[in-house]
Structure 1
Amino acid sequence: MNFLDAWRKRHAMARGTAVYVSDDADPEGIAELLAECELLRVRAAQQGLELDDSPASLEALDQLPPRWRDDPEELPWFGNDAGLYLGTVIVRTVSGAHWHLWPSGTPVVMLASGRDIEVVGAGLDWAATGAPELSQVYAEASEA
C-alpha cells in the first residue's frame, strides 16, 4: 500500500463525485454530464473496447486487465468514471431507474422500487479490487 492510499484511509476521504445543481436543473442535462466518463472511455478504447452504454459493455469492462491499478493517482478517477458509467447503463436500460442526488451531492441511481444504488462507490471498489464486478451490480439492479 502506498503512502497516498494509507493517508486517504486514515483521513476517511470522501469517495467520488459530488454534483450540486439548482432546483430547476435539467435532469437530462445532468444525466448527459454524468455519462461522459471521459477517462474510462479513453482507457477502454486504448484496450480496444468501445463503450456503448450496454450491459454487455459492463461485462467486457470486467474482463479488462486492470492496468489502471498501476497508477495510484489515476485509479480513483478511473473508478469514479466506472461508477458513473455503471449508473449510466442502469439508467438507460433498467425500467424506472433514474439519477438521484443525495443532499451531499452524491449521484446515485434510484430504482423503481425506491432503492438507491451508490454506483460511484461500486465503481471505486471495482477499480481498486475487482469486486463487485460491474456486471454483477447491474444484474442485481435489473432484478430489483
Structure 2
Amino acid sequence: MNIPFLDNWRKRHDVDPSPLGAAFDRDPEGVGELLAECELLRARVQDAGVTLDDTPGSLSALDQLPPSWRDDPEELPWIGNDAGLYLGTVIVRNVPSASWQVWPGGQPVVRLASGREINVVEAGLDWAVTGSPELSQVYGEAAEF
C-alpha cells in the first residue's frame, strides 16, 4: 500500500520501513538463523523422505521431488519462498564469503564475495512454479563466483 504522507513521516523520523532490515542490522546471525527455518518446506519434504541438511546435495534431492505443491495455489508461494530461503541458507553455509543481506524494502538476498547479489526468494518462487532454474543449478553458479 502506498501512503505518501507515511513515507514522508518515516524520512523525518528515521524509521526503517523494513523490520527485517532493522533486525538484520542489529543481529545478522540471528536473522540468518530465522531465514534458515523454512518450516513448511522442511515438513513437506520430510513427508516425501527427504532430509534438508543444509548441504548442496539436499538441493539436488529437492530438485528431484514431484512438484505436488503446484496443486495447491495457496501453498505454492509459501513453498517457493521457503525454497528460496533454503537455497540462500545452503549458499551462505557452503560458499566461502557468501552472506545474507537485506535490501531496503526488506527483501533478503545472498551476496557473494564477488559482490554479486542473488535474489534467492525469486529463484525459489520460479523453481516452485516452473521447476526452473533448478535449485542445485543456482547453487552451482553461486559456488563458481
TM-score (norm 2): 0.85
Q: RMSD of the alignment, in Å? A: 1.2
Q: How far, CA to CA, are the matches of 1:101 and 1:29 in structure 2?
A: 13
User: Is residue 2:97 matched to residue 1:96?
Assistant: yes
CA distance in structure 2 between the partners assigned to 1:36 and 1:22 by the alignment: 16
C-alpha distance in structure 1 between counterparts of 2:127 and 2:24, whole Å: 32
Q: Residues 78-117 of structure 1, C-alpha deviation per residue, up to 9 Å, x if partnerless?
A: 0000000000000000000000001111000000000000
Cα 1:111–1:104 change in 2 (3 A) is same
Q: Offset at 1:42? A: 0.2
Larger Rg over CA atoms: 2
C-alpha deviation, 1:22, in angstroms:
4.3
1:106-130 residue CA offsets vs partner (Å, 9 max, x unmatched): 0000000000000000000000000
Aligned residue for 1:32? 33
Once residues 124 and 36 of structure 1 are traced to their aligned partners in structure 2, the CA distance between those partners, rounded to angstroms, is 17
CA separation of 1:108/1:23 partners in 2, compared to 1, >3 Å: closer, same or farther? Answer: closer
Which residue of structure 2 lines up, in the alignment, with residue 128 of structure 1? Answer: 129
SS of the aligned residue for 1:20 comes to: helix
| TM-score using structure 1 length | 0.85
- Once residues 122 and 142 of structure 2 are traced to their aligned partners in structure 1, the CA distance between those partners, rounded to angstroms, is 15
Alignment match, 1:49? 50
SS at match of 2:110: strand
Where does residue 14 of structure 2 map in the other structure?
Answer: none
Whole-angstrom distance in 1 between the partners of 2:65 and 2:118: 23
Cα distance in 2, alignment partners of residues 82 and 37 from structure 1: 7
The answer on 1:83 being equivalent to 2:81 is no
Give the deviation of 1:19 after TM superposition.
Answer: 2.6
Task: Check conservation: 2:109, 2:118, Cα contact below 8 A.
Answer: yes
How far apart, in 1, do the equivalents of 2:32 and 2:133 lie? 23
